[in-house]
Structure 1
Amino acid sequence: MTQLRHRYDFVLLFDVKDGNPNGDPDAGNLPRVDPETGQGLVSDVCLKRKVRNYISLSRAGASGYDIYVKEKAVLSAQQGLAYAALNLKSASTSEGDEAAEAEEPSAKGGKKGKAKPESTSKASDREAVDRARDWMCRHFFDIRTFGAVMGLKENNCGQVRGPVQITFARSIDPILTQEHSITRMAVATQREADAQGGDNRTMGRKNTVPYGLYRAHGFISPQLARQTRFEEPDLDVLWESFRQMFEHDRSAARGMMSLRDLIVFRHESELGNAPAHRLFDRVLVERRDKNLPARDFADYAVRVEEAPSGVTVLRPAA
């Protein structure tokens, strides 16, 4: 395995056509929007979910590519895998054992006494948590990539700050949310059918964005990568995930979503050769004709200005 020796900053450009890229549960699942600017938003959690889903699909059963945060997962049980593999005793288990020992009869008088439990030093507790955390990083791709808070009372695995961080995505222009009435030629219950006299129709609503081009920014730290063992092969898998994550996440609600560009700035040094915001400013996305509403990626022009010394521009999605 090869350690990460470079800092990376990247720009993700993706679009949606006639779909809802990320519904807001606090707003009736309407597309997320900045109320002041009208620009559409897609949360970082939404994007990470798509990466996780692709890894689960493409690396199913592969060692080191399990997913920690997945549908219907019980996180304490996921962390219990580390304790079982390393033959460690979890904090909750040891507390239960100590309580049982305290109620045992004393050896002399036969009376119940508070037997002094065998003490466990804080240093050894920290060592167990550190070992469990390292095991979780080795076996779960999303932990060593995005990090995780695993400081649960049961099977405590500490906390990991991930080397890969992604911002909210924001649309280049304000979006227009359209509401559509839809009809289902069936009802859920016989009572509904009787009430309609056999018409058997169910009305509903569907919200879509006619078109939106979204932009998200990302950062990769080689220092944090060493702590989680995120290495060059993992980086290749991450780029692959970005390229494919929309291809395997189709649904009627999301319409047509596609990755349009992935622009990566690779720094020669681990600490970086230029501030991230100055690199992002070199990625210019402009609408070709501002008098017409955008309805396709071809309505935009994407230009990347020359990178400063010590920074190389890569296009892994090309």
Structure 2
Amino acid sequence: MTTLSRRHDFVLIFDVTNGNPNGDPDAGNQPRLDPETGLGLVSDVSLKRKIRNYVDLAHEGKDGHHIYVQEGAILNEKHRQAYTALRGDSGGKKEAKLNPKDDAEAKALRDWMCANFFDVRTFGAVMSTGINCGQVKGPVQITFASSVERILPAEVTITRMAATNEAEKKKAEEGADSDQRTDNRTMGRKYIVPYGLYVAHGFVSAKFAERTGFSEADLDLLFEALKNAFEHDRSAARGEMATRKLIVFRHENALGNAPAHELFERVRIGRDLDGELREIGDPGLDNRPPARKFSDYRIEIDRSDLPAGVEILEM
């Protein structure tokens, strides 16, 4: 495979309709938000999870596309696989702790993990827990996503008609003639964002790709996963989520031709008012209803005076 030789920066734009894009366990699983601005948040960990899940579905069992961080996985056992591959079947099958014998073996262990696990060579990993395979800094980094406008999560009460067990059913039957409602309805709550448009930024370092073996094919797979991240992540809790646009700034060399923040500023997102983009907070939007669909927004990319060596790809 061809190792990545050019730096890339990207903007991921996605939305949610009547769903919870990323619940906060410290707030009763309410949608994450910035308490000062009211903007919705989706963590980088959540986005990486969706990428891992897509790669696992699309390339399950294929060499070089195994996933290191999986639900229920025992990470030390994956580290042990590297020792077994390098030392042979007798090399550390029972030991609870293993460390490389020298720097050469340490590098060989890291290289083996990168070669076999897509998410290790993409995002990096700390693999020094007990059975030590060292640490890897990945070439791909993704920020928290923030919503374009403030979100106002709605709390929805739901009921379940079935009883959990015989005792619950009996209690309901005994109270059937009383004034108190005791039928087989278990009350619950869920939180939704009626509509939210979110933006995340990503960075792909060609220099760190050299160290992990992250290739051009891996980059193509990363972008494929970002475009399809929500297609196989459906659930009642998440409502409807979709990647709306992926904007990639591709540099002509490994170090890059312009600062990422300057390129990101070329992407403008605002409300669509009669075919024109109005910045969020524009007084002309004061009497407009809240956004409830993607077409309520307008996205524009400033392509004028683009720095030499930078090209823009829209996916």
Same fold (TM over 0.5): yes
Change (3 A) 1:95 1:65: closer
Alignment of 1:174-189 (within 5 A): 174-189=150-165
Alignment of 1:117-136 (within 5 A): 124-136=101-113
Tell me the alpha carbon deviations over residues 120-172 of structure 1, each in whole angstroms, 9 at most, x when there is no partner. xx983332222111100000000000000001122x11000000000000000
- Asked whether 1:284 is paired with 2:268, we answer yes
Distance 1:16 1:95 in 2: 45
Q: 1:141 aligns with which of 98, 102, 118?
A: 118
Q: Which residue of structure 1 aligns with residue 171 of structure 2?
A: 195
Distance 1:206 1:215 in 2: 24
Alignment of 1:1-318 (within 5 A): 1-87=1-87, 89-90=91-92, 93=95, 124-154=101-131, 156-197=132-173, 199-289=183-273, 290=285, 291-306=288-303, 307-315=306-314, 317=315
Pairwise CA RMSD of aligned residues? Answer: 1.8
Distance 2:107 2:119 in 1: 18
| Contact kept? 1:11, 1:262, Cα under 8 Å | yes
Distance 2:101 2:118 in 1: 27
TM-score by length of 2: 0.88
Tell me the alpha carbon deviations over residues 220-271 of structure 1, each in whole angstroms, 9 at most, x when there is no partner. 0001001000010101111110111100100000000000000000011211
Query: Given residue 297 of structure 1, which amino acid in structure 2 is its aligned partner?
Result: F
1:191 is displaced (CA, Å) by 1.8
Tell me the alpha carbon deviations over residues 262-306 of structure 1, each in whole angstroms, 9 at most, x when there is no partner. 000001121111100000000000012432200001000000101
Distance 2:272 2:140 in 1: 33
Give the 3-state SS of the residue equivalent to 2:254 in structure 1: coil
What stretches of structure 1 of length at least 5 have no aligned partner?
A: 97-121
Change (3 A) 1:123 1:40: closer
1:49 is displaced (CA, Å) by 0.2
Tell me the alpha carbon deviations over residues 95-135 of structure 1, each in whole angstroms, 9 at most, x when there is no partner. 79xxxxxxxxxxxxxxxxxxxxxxxxx98333222211110
- How many aligned positions are there? 290
| Contact kept? 2:80, 2:93, Cα under 8 Å | no
Q: Which residue of structure 1 aligns with residue 280 of structure 2?
A: none
1:5 is displaced (CA, Å) by 1.4
| Contact kept? 1:176, 1:209, Cα under 8 Å | yes
Q: How many percent identity over aligned positions?
A: 56
Distance 1:281 1:92 in 2: 54
What stretches of structure 2 of length at least 5 have no aligned partner?
A: 177-182, 274-284
Distance 1:50 1:147 in 2: 16
Larger of the two Rg values belongs to structure: 1
